[in-house]
Each structure stands twice: as structure tokens, then as C-alpha cells.
Structure 1
Amino acid sequence: MSSSAIRPPLILGSSSPYRRELLARLRIPFDVAVPDIDETPLAGEAPEATALRLSRRKAEAIAARHPGALVIGSDQVCTLDGAQIGKPGSHEKALAQLQQMRGRTVTFHSALCLLDSRTGEAQLADVQTRATFRDLSDAELDAYLRLETPYDCAGSAKAEGLGIALLARVESDDPTALIGLPLIALTGMLRAAGYPFFGA
């Protein structure tokens, strides 16, 4: 029997093109489904708790529609001094975020959930990345935002693109976590779930 024949369906529960591109690096078949959940943080909820809860809720929402599949849910929360920094949504808010973060070290919580809808078993991880931003001028920050328009990214910087020029240092156990899908953690979870990468 070929490895593809014994692979359960794999579904990425995300609307993010960045996560889709990362998962495609693994050269394994997968589908994409968009979860419809409320992503509002709960009152008094710690940033890492928000990220873990939302990653699981996304996976559960997709698994309910796809029995028999392995479902990946992921969420990222950016924090500065313990406070959450969300997706800016506009140029003005993005500029204010970058001004607040310049010269500072920000923590990104990249949470991951792999839910096996065959058994109901969920594996969870919070991969943290510390990113130190360069102390750039308002003009440089404004120019960056107009070039890349990262208004859908927590922290207003696309590290997979020109946003890497905003950073002076990145510290993480998983180089893909900052982009939004920690592949080292994910491949470990898939192996634990019995998913074959290199043949049956």
C-alpha cells in the first residue's frame, strides 16, 4: 500500500495565505477550510491562553464538518509588556503599533492545535518567538507600510517579506513560528498522530 493511501485527510483550518504557503513546504497533500469563530480575547485572558484557545476552536470548528480528518488550527498573538497587540486593520493603527515597538522586544505566541477527528485527541503547543525591532524613523516605518501593507498581520510586520528589515534580532526554537505556522512543532504532532512523511 502506498503512503498516500494510508494518509488520513489533512485540513488546514485557516484563511491565512502565509500559513498555506508554509504547510505547502512539507510536500504533503492538504485541503484548506476557513473556520468561522469569534476571535475576540476573553476578559482577563493571558495572551498565550488566547492563542491556544483560538487555535483549538478553529480546529474544532473544521473537524465538526470533516469527520475522519486531521485538522490544523493555529493562531498568533503579539504582545508587548504583556499586553496584546492585534491586527492593525489600517495604516494609521499599523504605524502606531510600529512606533510603539521600535527599539523594543516583542513576544509572538504562535499557538498550534492538531485535532484528530477520528479519536477526538488534540495536541497543543505554544511556540514563542522574541523579536527585537530596529529603532527606525517615522518616515522609514511609513514607507515600509505603504510598500507592504501588512494590515492583516499581528504586529504590523511581514517577517516573510520586507518586514524582516524592521527586525534586529529574532529568537525562537522554530524559524517558521514567526510567520504563523510552527512547522517543527507541527511535524512532531503529525508524527505522533501516525502521519507518514517519508513512505509507509
Structure 2
Amino acid sequence: MIKNPPLILASSSRYRRELLDRLGIAYEAIASDIDESSLDGETPLQTSQRLAVEKARFVAKSHPGAVVIGSDQVADLGGKKLGKPHTRERAVEQLLAMQGRTVTFYTALAVIAPDGTARERLSATEVRMRPLSRETIEAYVDREKPFDCAGSAKIESLGIALMESVKSDDPTSLIGLPLIALTTLLAQSGLEVLPGLR
């Protein structure tokens, strides 16, 4: 049996930890201390890709020999970035702007191998939101409190009721960590999830 290198998730997100737990492999979660602001002229897609790599590299610098996972998600509403709302007011504002429209959630993934090689993937999820009244949105926000969720709608719980349709290549992508792509990148980076998996 192959002895896996140490695995680190460069994130403090409980959603990403819960997803990674599904793979049943040992890992450590270490938050990356980077500025997550968008750069001038940067698209939501570009922001997600850059931050996923920066998060992974930040943690990998102090953990040589480990496989490090970085991930970032940005919601794109007609070219406008929707990040984590942090407050009730901003969550309601985001959902009002999204009602009846299609939002693309870009979930970028970066895996740094023990030799420093970076491998990247991007998963895009298109979410069509139902036409919603302010009353419905406020009731949802008060019940769910989605303040730590990009776009303010959690598909894994009550947020599913706000959505008309979801199109994605990976059902875990919208929650924050695309496991289909991740298992491939881990295998390519020298970490065995299942024997023979490439």
C-alpha cells in the first residue's frame, strides 16, 4: 500500500471540511492568511482561479512535502462579483438582485504537490433563481443566516428552495469543493484516494 504524503486543506471553511471528509482520508485544515479582494479589472472567474492558487501556495510554503488543496468560489451575476455577504442587509440585497436571473458560481481548485507542482481545475455551476418577493427572501435569510456563503444561497439546505434549476459538472462544486476534480488532482499529485485511481 502506498504511504500518502501529508494532506492539508488550505481553508477554515466548514463546508469544505465536510466535503473533504467524504473521501475518508486523513488531512489537516489550515487557514491561509491572504487578501481575498479582487484586483482591478479582474473578472469573477479570474478572481476565483487566482485565489485558489494563492491559498494553496501560502500554506505550502510552510509545509514542504505535503499535498495542499486550495479552493475559492466567486458568484458572477452579469459580470458583477458576489462574495460572502457577512450581514443580513447584504444577504437580502444579493438575493433581491439575483431573483429571476441566472448566476454562475465559479469554484476554482488548486492542488500543490510535494515537489511544488501546481495543478488547477475550474468548475462552473449555473443557477437559475426563482422570481422571489422580498418577504420570501427575508424569511429565508432569517431562517438560514447564509452570511458566510458566496451569493447567500446554500444548495445543501433551505437555499435549494430559491433555485429553479442548477447545471453543473459536479454536484459538490456549488457547496465549495469540487470532489470529482479533486480526486483526479490528488492522484496526479501523488496522493492515493483509491488504489489505481488516476
Instruction: Tell me the secondary structure at the aligned position of residue 103 of structure 2.
Output: strand
Q: 1:133 aligns with which of 129, 132, 144?
A: 129
Distance 1:31 1:129 in 2: 27
Equivalent residue for 2:188?
192
Q: Which amino acid aligns with 2:106?
A: H
Identify unmatched segments of 5+ residues in structure 1: none
Q: Structure 1 vs Structure 2: percent identity of aligned residues?
A: 52
Distance 1:177 1:183 in 2: 7
Q: 1:150 aligns with which of 137, 141, 146?
A: 146
Equivalent residue for 1:111?
108
Q: 1:69 aligns with which of 62, 66, 69?
A: 66
Equivalent residue for 1:122?
118
TM-score in terms of structure 2 length = 0.96
Q: 1:164 aligns with which of 160, 166, 170?
A: 160
Distance 1:67 1:127 in 2: 27
Q: 1:40 aligns with which of 37, 42, 49?
A: 37
Instruction: Tell me the secondary structure at the aligned position of residue 115 of structure 2.
Output: coil
Q: Could you give the per-residue CA deviations for residues 75-129 of structure 1, whole angstroms, max 9, x where no partner exists?
A: 000011111111111111110110110110000000000011x211000111100
Q: Which amino acid aligns with 1:47?
A: P
Equivalent residue for 2:55?
58
Instruction: Tell me the secondary structure at the aligned position of residue 169 of structure 1.
Output: strand
Number of residue equivalences: 196
Alignment of 1:25 onto 2:27: no
CA RMSD of the aligned region, Å? Answer: 1.1
Instruction: Tell me the secondary structure at the aligned position of residue 155 of structure 1.
Output: helix
Equivalent residue for 1:92?
89
Instruction: Tell me the secondary structure at the aligned position of residue 137 of structure 2.
Output: helix
Instruction: Tell me the secondary structure at the aligned position of residue 152 of structure 2.
Output: coil
Distance 2:192 2:122 in 1: 24
**How far is 1:199 from its partner?**
4.2
